[in-house]
A and B are shown apart, each in its own frame.
Chain A
């Protein structure tokens, strides 16, 4: 069995000996995460589960609308806060305390290698960087999981993605992902397992950027193996009790792709979708931008803020560009502040916001208007995603966003 099948088998609530594609796996989850968006689902706040299957395995994280941008949302999240005492939840992260759930969960050691996570948010696949299966599920389904601790998966086939080399100078993990997307297209219902010698050149931020973005392939799970980098990370998070999962020697995959990371140049996703819609920045031609955004669970991490600060150090961004930088978590925010990245960005005329999903979901903290051309390090560029459906959203790495903010048009490499 491959990693996905083995982790599902380890969580099966039925007495099965093996799991393979086509099976329906009934599983128990290790943790259920509810984000503030649940407050906007009347079915949840009007009839929340009576009690959770285990209050220590349920997390409540405020991330999308932090701080609440309207009276309406403030009132709704106030209702959600009542869950904390009603259910006796320990892991509650209110405004100012936590960050985007997919980033925070990694920082706090919630994503233990070999574990299984359910979350109401669709980028839960991010947990794959930690050798953890995570699935974004609808709110009604999360209600079922909170009440029973269980759910089901239709087991899909798995693609093996063999990574070699290391990311070339000026490119980043986001570009590697875009390259992967251009090879695979979308793979609904299927999984990706990463393998190969290139993995050891990727830190947890880079792995997380790649696994997070696999949501855009409509993949079920995207999972990395365990190695010393992950083990050391878990040690530093103070987590030792886990059961890391490696694929069996005879693990089955429906296909195998080879990605030479060395060959990947800075890429960009053109407006409205990522699938079949990416190209190297060098082939783009001149596209002037009005708005530049760095943030999100994929690329609002410390290494992304560092890339932005490196590009902007001692410079001013183009006078026609509005740059917003949103750290993904309190920890990223504090580290970036300590290392001087935030003041570098502020001095360059960038706007630094508090940690939140913010502009990524078009709800607040940088909503874009009609006719705006946007270059963003966020995850998704569906029409209307970041505000007006008449805005054009290009997606790229944090570094490319920063360089574009500096020049006023989309540009991938400082030295071109």
Chain B
């Protein structure tokens, strides 16, 4: 997988799934859902996101439910989520929807909002290209990277012929 570069949006601790994917999203048309991300904690933010932007989070990013929160961020154009710690269920959901979620201790203080960030996947290093600070991270196990590279678990299942016709 290539390195990821994008502009940083910095969030705090405990950003939960109900903020990322509010209840009303469930019944909205697909195209509208992403624009409701974070509307309760950061109104208007979703409309400012540009394709390729990166989210920097604090502790336990994505805590909460199994709702498709990671998918909502992916569809908004977010290329990668990096946080002090990533909630376990959110991490699985991110992998399964084909978006990188990375735990990097120290990232929240190292990165300034609006700066361009580079994620060096080979050397497991995140760099804020403006203030030049870097932090290291632990890469994901290869079998999870493979799911991300395939664009998510559904593509993997489809390729194996395990999916049926629509209900």
Q: Which A residues have a C-beta under 8 Å from some C-beta of B? A: 24, 37, 40-43, 45-51, 70, 72-73, 79-80, 82-83, 86, 120-122, 135-141, 143-144, 147-148, 152, 154, 156, 186, 188-189, 218, 220, 273, 275, 361-363, 380, 382-385, 387, 389
Contacts and interface: CB of A to CB of B under 8 A. Distances in A.
Interface stretch (B18-26, B46-54, B113-121, B127-135): B18-26
A79 B167 contact: yes
A139 B157 contact: no
A140 B88 contact: no
Given A40-B26, A361-B23, A382-B64, A140 B162 contact: no
Contact of B40 (A41, A218, A273, A383): A383
> Which 7 pairs of residues, A with B, have the shortest CB-CB distance?
A50-B164, A138-B93, A122-B65, A79-B167, A382-B18, A147-B162, A47-B163
Contacts of A383: 18-19, 40-41
Contact of A389 (B40, B64, B88, B141): B40
A382 B19 contact: yes
Nearest to A69: B27
A291 to B, nearest CB: 16
Contacts of B18: 380, 382-385
B96 A186 contact: no
B157 A384 contact: no
* B interface bracket (residues with beta carbon within 8 Å of A): 35 or more
B151 to A, nearest CB: 11
Nearest to A72: B27
29 contacts: A37-B26, A40-B26, A41-B68, A45-B167, A46-B166, A47-B158, A47-B164, A83-B167, A86-B164, A122-B66, A122-B89, A135-B89, A138-B70, A138-B97, A140-B96, A140-B152, A141-B96, A144-B157, A147-B163, A148-B162, A186-B14, A188-B60, A218-B89, A275-B14, A382-B16, A382-B64, A385-B23, A389-B39, A389-B40
Nearest to A187: B60
B79 interface: no
Interface of B: 14, 16, 18-19, 22-23, 26-27, 30, 39-41, 60, 63-68, 70, 85, 87-89, 92-93, 96-97, 141, 143, 152-154, 156-158, 161-164, 166-167
Contacts of B27: 40, 70, 72-73
B163 to A, nearest CB: 4
Given A45-B167, A141-B93, A189-B88, A384 B22 contact: yes
A45 B70 CA distance: 19
A238 B59 CA distance: 44
Contacts of B22: 384, 389
A35 to B, nearest CB: 10
A43 B154 contact: yes
A8 B32 CA distance: 40
Contacts of A41: 68
B164 A48 contact: yes
Given A120-B66, A137-B92, A139-B68, A45 B166 contact: yes
